[in-house]
């Protein structure tokens, strides 16, 4: 009996457990379909977006958008940004456009707007510096916007600074200014970097090898001028025109004491007082800075005052611009003297900013340097050999002198009374005699009415050097007989150099007369130059 009860109880327990398990297995879970049954309003995940012309497209996305929703798109300006049926926006041109997404969901219609700005791709610096000391380093950094290419780095002058093309790390090597360039594809961004200014010692070390001394002579014998100059390219020297004006032989001495004859004048401008010469040599050249200067800026003058080659003086810019005789000068306080003409005016970075030209001797430190930017005005399209220049100069000089009432001797005419030139009243004549072949020159004088005639023969002037005592001066009649013999006038004033001239001062009847200028055949120095002055009472 007890055994039967246990069996019955166990059976009841099993049935109970079975019903319990069956009940648990029929409890169904609740399913939530958010995308299909949401009642929230749809929204764009972003309503403002910046894109870059020709770069990546952008796809609009939403929050609270049901799977059953229907969406259409439209651009307010498809020339700037177009949109396709999937919501992909493509940037086409710089500007702004509004993309409107029309959403139909849960029996509602929603108009959602995305404001698109399209920019040109660009590079932006994120780490820069304006100045570096010598041997100092700095790493430039930049980001690209709308550009897939990587940035590469460069500098405008590797003599002044070097840069790692991949990292942007700059090392300062010499004084001056360089441009740092970040480039990605066809886009670039630049930044000005100043390397520490040079000391006077640094200026001399950098610039003196490019500075020269110039000796200009007439007829390879008479010193015409001594000045300075500087290289701007291989074999190309800049100087003042007045340093070489009228010369037939120009010798340039470089810093290593080598001498070169100028073979060509590449160009010159008398009004600007600039000449560009050519010599057969390789050399270091100075860097030209045409941006001008600021008042108070430290500058240096380098040249050969009184033949003292390689002289360096320091000063400041007293005035950035002075217009003198139509040319643009900088007024400077750096000392310049005779012989500095044509030398470079240099800024604190070792760059040429001017051509040292003139000084006010009655002032103190009032000196002037031509602005180097005027170098571009010199015509170099018709270079001249020295022979061609001498012929051109002589022709131009004769025209100019005649306007100033000066006659220049014509060697082909002056050897004969029959062919000689006439000296008009109030004019003077310039000429020369030479041993052994050209001992006598003639000139014709015509007295329209009887009167007192004044003639003077001199061999002393700024440009003409001769020996007056080796010359004789005689007035002849038409038949060659002597009309009047000159007398010597000599002034030995202790306050002036000895000065002498032959004088003809006499009253004569009207008629034609001839001046005879005769050189002593024993004269040893070759050419003897002279002036003849003519006037009447």
Q: How far apart are CA 376 and CA 27, in angstroms?
A: 98
Fold of 404-536: Jelly Rolls (2.60.120)
Neighbours of 156 (CB within 10 A): 15
* CATH no. of 43-119: 2.60.40.1080
Which of 93-107, 221-235, 436-450 is most confident? 93-107
Thinking of the domain 122-196, which architecture would CATH place it in? Sandwich (2.60)
Fold of 203-377: Thrombin, subunit H (2.40.10)
Residue 426 has a pLDDT of: 86
Convert the pLDDT of each residue in 243-252 to its tens digit.
999 899 999 9
Cis previous bond, 135, omega within 30:
no
Average pLDDT, the chain: 87
Domain ranges in the chain with CATH number 2.60.40.1080: 43-119, 122-196
Convert the pLDDT of each residue in 314-342 to its tens digit.
999 999 999 998 999 999 999 999 999 99
Q: Rounded to 10 degrees, what is the CA torsion of 423, 424, 425, 431? A: -30
Contacts of 34 (CB under 8 A, 6+ apart): none
Please say if the pLDDT value at position 88 is more than 80: yes
- The secondary structure of the chain in percent helix, strand, coil, rounded to multiples of 5, reads 15, 50, 40
- Whose tokens are 């060697």? That residue is 411
Residue 222 has a pLDDT of: 60
Q: How far apart are CA 344 and CA 181, in angstroms?
A: 30
Domain ranges in the chain with CATH number 2.40.10.120: 203-377
Convert the pLDDT of each residue in 444-486 to its tens digit.
999 989 988 888 887 754 344 567 888 889 999 999 999 999 9
Q: How far apart are CA 156 and CA 159, in angstroms?
A: 9
Contacts of 522 (CB under 8 A, 6+ apart): none
Q: How far apart are CA 454 and CA 533, in angstroms?
A: 8
Among candidates 533, 407, 513, 522, which has minimal Cα distance to 458?
533
Residue 221 has a pLDDT of: 61
Q: Is the pTM of this model over 0.75?
A: no
Among candidates 199, 176, 208, 200, which has minimal Cα distance to 344?
208
- Supply the DSSP string of 463-507, one letter for each residue: S-B--GGGEEEEEE-TTS-EEEE-EEEEE--TTS--EEEEEEEEE
Q: Tokens in use for 105?
A: 């969901």
The pair phi, psi for residue 20, each rounded to 5°, is -65, -45
Average pLDDT over residues 215-229: 81
Among candidates 271, 219, 274, 221, which has minimal Cα distance to 244?
274
Among candidates 169, 183, 181, 165, which has minimal Cα distance to 132?
169
Q: Tokens in use for 328?
A: 């643009």
Q: Rounded to 10 degrees, what is the CA torsion of 240, 241, 247, 249? A: 50
Among candidates 439, 282, 435, 275, which has minimal Cα distance to 357?
275
Q: Tokens in use for 411?
A: 């060697």
Please say if the pLDDT value at position 96 is more than 80: yes
Q: How far apart are CA 170 and CA 137, in angstroms?
A: 5
Instruction: Place 491 in a pLDDT band, splitting at 50, 70 and 90.
Output: low
Q: Tokens in use for 129?
A: 């510096």
Q: How far apart are CA 247 and CA 219, in angstroms?
A: 8
Convert the pLDDT of each residue in 412-421 to its tens digit.
999 999 999 9
Instruction: Place 33 in a pLDDT band, splitting at 50, 70 and 90.
Output: very low
Residue 65 exposure: Cα atoms within 13 Å on the Cβ side: 16
Confirm if 93 and 133 have CB atoms less than 8 A apart: no
Report the chain's C-alpha Rg in angstroms: 47
Among candidates 239, 234, 173, 229, which has minimal Cα distance to 202?
173
Cα 59 to Cα 45, 78, 103, 111, 446: the distances in Å are: 11, 15, 16, 17, 104
Q: Tokens in use for 54?
A: 């020709």
Give the H/E segment covering residue 70: strand 70-75
């Amino acid at each position: 009996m007890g055994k039967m009860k246990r069996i019955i109880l166990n059976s009841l327990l099993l049935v109970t457990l079975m019903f319990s398990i069956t009940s648990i297995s029929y409890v169904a879970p609740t399913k939530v379909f958010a995308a299909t049954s949401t009642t929230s309003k749809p929204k764009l995940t972003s309503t403002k977006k910046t894109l870059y012309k020709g770069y990546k497209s952008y796809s609009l996305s939403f929050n609270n958008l049901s799977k059953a929703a229907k969406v259409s798109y439209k651009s307010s300006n498809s020339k700037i940004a177009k949109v396709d049926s999937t919501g992909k926006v493509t940037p086409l041109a710089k500007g702004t456009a509004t993309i409107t997404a029309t959403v139909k969901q849960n029996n509602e219609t929603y108009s959602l707007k995305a404001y698109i700005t399209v920019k040109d791709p660009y590079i932006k610096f994120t780490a820069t510096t304006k100045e570096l000391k010598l041997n100092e380093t700095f790493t430039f950094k930049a980001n690209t916007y709308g550009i897939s290419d990587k940035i590469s780095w460069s500098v405008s002058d590797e003599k002044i600074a070097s840069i790692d093309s991949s990292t942007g790390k700059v090392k300062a090597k010499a004084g001056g200014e360089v441009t740092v360039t970040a480039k990605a594809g066809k886009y670039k961004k630049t930044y000005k970097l100043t390397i520490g200014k040079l000391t006077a010692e640094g200026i001399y070390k950098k610039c003196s090898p490019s500075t020269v001394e110039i000796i200009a002579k007439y007829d390879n014998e008479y010193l015409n001028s001594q000045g300075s100059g500087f290289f701007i390219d291989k074999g190309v020297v800049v100087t003042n025109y007045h340093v070489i004006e009228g010369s037939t032989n120009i010798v340039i001495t470089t810093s290593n004491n080598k001498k070169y004859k100028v073979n060509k004048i590449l160009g010159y401008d008398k009004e600007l007082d600039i000449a560009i010469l050519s010599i057969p040599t390789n050399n270091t050249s100075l860097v030209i800075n045409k941006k001008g200067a600021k008042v108070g800026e430290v500058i240096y003058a380098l040249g050969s005052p009184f033949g003292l080659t390689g002289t360096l003086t320091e000063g400041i810019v007293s005035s950035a611009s002075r217009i003198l005789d139509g040319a643009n000068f900088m007024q400077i306080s750096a000392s310049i003297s005779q012989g500095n003409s044509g030398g470079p005016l240099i800024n604190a970075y070792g760059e040429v900013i001017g051509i040292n030209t003139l000084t006010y001797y009655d002032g103190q430190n009032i000196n002037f340097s031509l602005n180097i930017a005027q170098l571009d005005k010199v015509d170099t399209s018709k270079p001249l050999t020295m022979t061609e220049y001498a012929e051109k100069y002589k022709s131009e000089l004769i025209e100019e002198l005649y306007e100033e009432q000066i006659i220049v001797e014509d060697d082909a005419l002056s050897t004969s009374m029959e062919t000689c030139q006439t000296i008009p009243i109030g004019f003077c004549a310039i000429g020369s005699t030479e041993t052994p072949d050209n001992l006598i020159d003639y000139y014709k004088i015509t007295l329209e009415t009887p009167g007192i005639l004044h003639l003077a023969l001199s061999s002393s002037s700024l440009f003409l050097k001769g020996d007056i005592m080796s010359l004789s001066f005689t007035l002849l009649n038409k038949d060659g007989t002597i009309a009047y013999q000159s007398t010597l006038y000599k002034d030995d004033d202790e306050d002036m150099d000895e000065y002498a001239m032959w004088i003809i001062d006499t009253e004569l009847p009207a008629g034609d007369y001839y001046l005879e200028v005769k050189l002593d055949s024993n004269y040893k120095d070759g050419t003897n130059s002279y002036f003849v002055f003519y006037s009447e009472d």
